[in-house]
Chain A
């Protein structure tokens, strides 16, 4: 158990809909990362937050947005869903407070299926 909690574990929805994925980082971790893993297994970095502030942005679509709340949990909002958005979405956290080089701790992921 990594200590990172993601909900829901599975989600099935229709095209055009909007969903929210939730992540609770490990206790004390200030950084939260979101990744998308497609069927071909590659991990695509979406966005990183540190202590409530956006720190880095990857190839995140404009239809997607995220935020980190004062209690450090994070939400990833996916809107106007398309079939191609079906994927595993991972959250990871890290204790890094700045120029860190440490490991990330991953949740078990939220599997989104868009029909």
Chain B
């Protein structure tokens, strides 16, 4: 079945550092891909999404590109802030079957 694998955390960075969180997927068809973010004490909220190959999703300085050839959807941000500290989940949705990765905890230190 479909699945999502994302890099294990925790990830600790200094403010203004470059962030990459790797995400790869397996799917039988052409899923939509998502990154969700969970801030402390809150529910998950959509950060960005891409619905077809080569699409780039972006929001709040984060971006990810749907790479069909490498079945990847890596999350990047050029300069992280303390407020970006959260848990990040990669996910795919194919035919209304939503699958989440295990989550990566990011801590950004001043």
Of A60-68, A70-78, A79-87, A104-112, the one touching chain B: A104-112
Q: Is B93's CB within 8 Å of the partner chain A?
A: yes
Q: Is A24's CB within 8 Å of the partner chain B?
A: no
User: Is the beta-carbon distance between A43 and B100 smaller than 8 angstroms?
Assistant: yes
Chain B residue with Cβ nearest A111: B41
Q: How many residues of A contact B (CB 8 A)?
A: 27
Range of interface residues on chain B? 20 to 34
User: Is the beta-carbon distance between A90 and B44 smaller than 8 angstroms?
Assistant: yes
Residues of B within 8 A of A (CB): 31-32, 34, 36, 42-46, 49, 51, 87, 89, 93-100, 102-103, 105
13 sampled A-B residue pairs with Cβ under 8 A:
A4-B43, A43-B103, A45-B98, A56-B97, A96-B96, A98-B96, A100-B95, A101-B93, A101-B95, A104-B44, A106-B36, A106-B43, A106-B44
